[in-house]
């Protein structure tokens, strides 16, 4: 094999050898590429433990929160889902599980939410506990509220409602500059304008009392960066 390689290099001549060297140098110097999609399905996590690769924050009113990976009868990605299990929480308290490592400004985030008595959704463009976007859906009525929080000031920038009979509808939020669009299942939920678009992290959010269940949190953007 070695003699064949030597013969082919001689036959190719110096220009080919020089070109090959340039290609190797360019590959060595190029930064590592990140995937455009980050998927969190929770099926590889240990049951009765917090989901891996997430940071846990409480926004708004101080309160206890507890996130666990649990089994469910029929989640979109069987057999496990992520659950905020602390049920006695004030309405103004939002428990958030933010995906560690990755951030972006423009892109799509989606997750499946289990409808029920709680308010649950997605936190987006999360910079810190004073700067983020929050989309919450009422698990009983399908009413959605999109809130912008910048420098600690909260403004509702979108409202909508979707009637759904799905137990696990897919909640999707798309951000493109100031334009924000959200869907619940196959129906448009709401639109809003983010007055201060900024790159940030994405996560699951549960507000007020009641258990909240999530599955298949997916971040999808060519802008995804590692922090």
Contact 196, 177 (CB under 8 A): no
Dump pLDDT digits (tens) for 140-154. Answer: 999 999 999 999 999
Average pLDDT in the chain: 88
pLDDT at 227: 76
User: Which CA distances in Å does 172 have to 22, 108, 146, 217, 227?
Assistant: 44, 7, 12, 10, 24
Dump pLDDT digits (tens) for 17-73. Answer: 444 444 444 434 433 435 689 999 999 999 999 999 999 999 999 999 999 999 999
N-term to C-term CA, the chain: 44
pLDDT at 35: 62
Buried b (16+ CB within 10 A) or exposed e, 39-56: ebbbeebeeeeebeebee
Dump pLDDT digits (tens) for 86-105. Answer: 999 999 999 999 999 999 99
Q: Higher model confidence: residue 7 or residue 73?
A: 73
Q: What is the DSSP string of 117-159?
A: SSEEEEEEEEEETTEEEEEEEETTT-EEEEEEEETTEEEEEEE
**Span 128-139, average pLDDT:** 98
**164, pLDDT greater than 70:** yes
3-state secondary structure of 93: strand
Instruction: Please report which residue ranges of the chain form alpha helices under DSSP H.
Output: 2-12, 14-29
Query: What DSSP state is assigned to residue 51?
Result: P
3-state secondary structure of 169: coil
pLDDT at 3: 43
Q: Higher model confidence: residue 4 or residue 197?
A: 197
Cα–Cα distance measured from residue 3 to residue 201, given in angstroms and rounded to the nearest whole number: 54
Percent of the chain whose predicted confidence (pLDDT) is above 70:
85
Q: Which tokens sit at 109?
A: 């985030």
Cα–Cα distance measured from residue 200 to residue 107, given in angstroms and rounded to the nearest whole number: 11
Q: Which tokens sit at 129?
A: 């506990």
Contact 72, 81 (CB under 8 A): yes
pTM for the full predicted model: 0.84
User: Which CA distances in Å does 56 have to 6, 51, 96?
Assistant: 58, 10, 6
Q: Which tokens sit at 218?
A: 């997916």
């Amino acid at each position: 094999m070695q003699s064949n390689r030597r013969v082919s290099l001689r036959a190719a001549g110096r220009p080919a050898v020089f070109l090959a060297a340039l290609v190797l140098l360019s590959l060595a110097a190029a930064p590592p590429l990140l995937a455009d999609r980050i998927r969190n399905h929770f099926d590889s996590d240990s049951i009765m433990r917090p989901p891996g690769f997430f940071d846990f924050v409480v926004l708004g009113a101080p309160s206890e929160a507890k996130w666990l990976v649990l089994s469910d009868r029929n989640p979109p990605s069987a057999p496990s889902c992520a659950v905020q299990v602390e049920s006695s929480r004030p309405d103004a308290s939002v428990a958030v599980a933010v995906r560690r490592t990755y951030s972006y400004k423009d892109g799509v985030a989606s997750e499946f939410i289990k409808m029920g008595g709680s308010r649950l959704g997605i936190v987006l463009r999360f910079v810190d506990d004073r700067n983020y976007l929050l989309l919450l859906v009422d698990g009983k009525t399908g009413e959605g509220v999109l809130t912008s929080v910048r420098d600690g000031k909260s403004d509702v920038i979108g409202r909508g409602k979707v009637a759904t009979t799905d137990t696990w509808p897919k909640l999707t939020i798309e951000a493109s500059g100031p334009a924000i669009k959200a869907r619940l299942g196959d129906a448009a939920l709401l639109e809003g304008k983010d007055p201060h678009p900024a790159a940030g992290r994405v996560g699951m959010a549960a507000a007020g009392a009641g258990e909240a269940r999530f599955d298949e949190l997916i971040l999808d953007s060519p802008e995804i960066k590692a922090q």
